[in-house]
Amino acid sequence: MTAETSRFFDTRAAYILFANATTEKAVVGERVGREVDHLHPRPPGLRVFDAGMGDASVLTQVLRKMHTVFPHIPWTVVGKEISIEDVRQALVKLPDRFYEHPEMVFVVTNMTFREATRLCPDDVSRLRWRDIALRGSTAHEFATQIQDLLESLADDWEVTTSPRTGNPVYVNPAVVVMYRADHEFILRSLIPSPEGPRPAYDLVIAAQPYRAAAPLESKVRNVIAPLAESLRTGGRLIGIHSTGRDPGMEIIRQVWPDEDPFRHGGKDIVDELRRQVDDPELEVVPQSDDEAAFRFEMHYLPSEDAEHIGTSSLLATWNAATYVAQIDERRLSEAMHSFAWEDAVRRVMEREPRIWFEDEAYVIRRRDQAVENSANAATE
């Protein structure tokens, strides 16, 4: 792969260190959870799409919030994820969710954004579809059945490398549908099928769904446009991405002074969406300052302050900074071998003992005239 087509891949080790060493998952989960308060589900139930499920650390937080707000409303939750490692980690988090909220259908797919929202690939003949009704009524029973499934999913989630982009792409489109067998009758209208209608969503989560340095036009065409078009009336899409306005980016520029991965803000994304999609029902939701921009931080041991910066803190901070900035493997390896990274991290940490990172959120909704009329009538 050439330098021009080099891509950032979040290796398992880098991801685990990032997730465990920062507050990012909790902070993003809390911010997405705020959108649940604005949802107005309609029969037959509420539908959620996670455009980058990962290991479901954020999604499971949102599901807990959803149960608090809508404890008796059925759901269909669709997660898009191409990594089999992440799929396995996500599925093992589900038994408690099925126990607390039995009226849930959970779907995971490896398809592209546009295909995944429809749960229908361009080439239907290659589709691998599994429908799994979990038996029993306890989290232990659900966990046992899910664990037995994990090994066999590897063939369905086989990937190859795109010769055009260098990114991983699926070999065969795959869908796994899970629900509790003892609630199948109630959930029947929410259980998708290969021949079923195209779903529309009440909530779409798009947290870091695209490569930061990707062209604006492709970010919107390949990711945000199909997600926005999948919103049902009253549905909300929350997009979240890094801004680079933080000490983490200062570390990166100590090593790569000209690095500029965060070229497009929420306004750029929304303006490009309007250019590409002619849909007057889609509108931007105004955000307060704390809704539009928020921080997550590094976790440090109490002893690892500016007076005694331990090696573990240096490495964890470096990993977080390069993970957020999506530095490709080749350049990362070169920096690590030169030890330039250690001086860069130490300089910034001596000035800013608790390194933080800034994310930006934007919200797009499909107008619901009935809800707006009701709200207007209530204020008159």
Percent of the chain with pLDDT over 90: 82
8 A C-beta contact, residue 353 and residue 305: yes
User: For residue 8, what pLDDT is reported?
Assistant: 43
**Separation of first and last alpha carbons in the chain:** 63
Residue 375, pLDDT > 90, answer no
Predicted confidence at residue 252, as pLDDT, reads 97
What integer is the mean pLDDT of 286-304? 85
pLDDT of residue 302: 57
Percentage of the chain with pLDDT > 70? 92
- What pLDDT does 6 receive? 38
Indicate whether 119 pLDDT > 90. yes
**Model-level pTM?**
0.92
Q: At what angle do helices 57-69 and 24-36 cross, to 10 degrees?
A: 30
Pairing between strand 201-207 and 46-50? parallel
Q: Is the pLDDT of residue 10 over 80?
A: no
Residue 62 contacts by C-beta under 8 Å, 6 or more apart in sequence? 29, 32, 33, 36, 48, 203, 205
145 φ/ψ angles, rounded to the nearest 5 degrees? -70, -40
What is the residue-wise DSSP string for 264-306?
--HHHHHHHHHHH---TTEEEEP--HHHHEEEEEB---TT-ST
Using DSSP bridges, classify how beta strands 356-366 and 231-242 pair: parallel, antiparallel or unpaired: antiparallel
Q: Which residue has the higher pLDDT, 10 or 129?
A: 129
Q: Which amino acid does the sequence have at 252?
A: I
- Rounded mean pLDDT of 76-88? 96
Q: Answer yes or no: is pLDDT of 9 > 60.
A: no
Distance of alpha carbon 340 from the chain centroid: 32
Lowest mean pLDDT among 120-124, 196-200, 227-231, 305-309: 305-309
Q: Are 362 and 269 spatial neighbours (Cβ–Cβ below 8 Å)?
A: yes
Distances 181 to 70, 79, 174, 217, 339 between C-alpha atoms, Å: 21, 20, 22, 44, 56
> Does residue 48 have a pLDDT over 70?
yes
pLDDT of 98 > 70? The answer is: yes
pLDDT given for residue 303 in this prediction: 54
How open is the CA angle 270-272-275, to the nearest 5 degrees? Answer: 115
Q: What is the mean pLDDT of the chain?
A: 92
- Mean pLDDT, range 128-154, rounded to an integer: 97
Residue 276 and residue 225 in contact, taking contact as beta carbons nearer than 8 Å: yes
pLDDT higher than 50, residue 1: no
pLDDT in tens, 158-171: 999 888 777 889 99
pLDDT at 5 > cutoff 60: no
Mean pLDDT, residues 41-64 taken together: 97
The top-scoring range by mean pLDDT among 148-152, 224-228, 339-343, 351-355 is 224-228
Q: What is the pLDDT of residue 309?
A: 55
Residue 344: is its pLDDT beyond 50? yes
Q: Please report, for residues 119, 189, 190, 205, the alpha-carbon distance to residue 44 in angstroms, rounded to integers and kept in the order given.
A: 18, 7, 7, 21
Q: What average pLDDT score do residues 322-351 get?
A: 91
Is pLDDT above 90 for 62?
A: yes
**Is 50 exceeded by the pLDDT of residue 278?**
yes
Mean pLDDT on 314-323: 95
Question: Taking 70 as the threshold, does the pLDDT of residue 177 lie above it?
Answer: yes
13 vs 64: which has the higher pLDDT: 64
The arithmetic mean of pLDDT across residues 293-320, rounded, is: 78
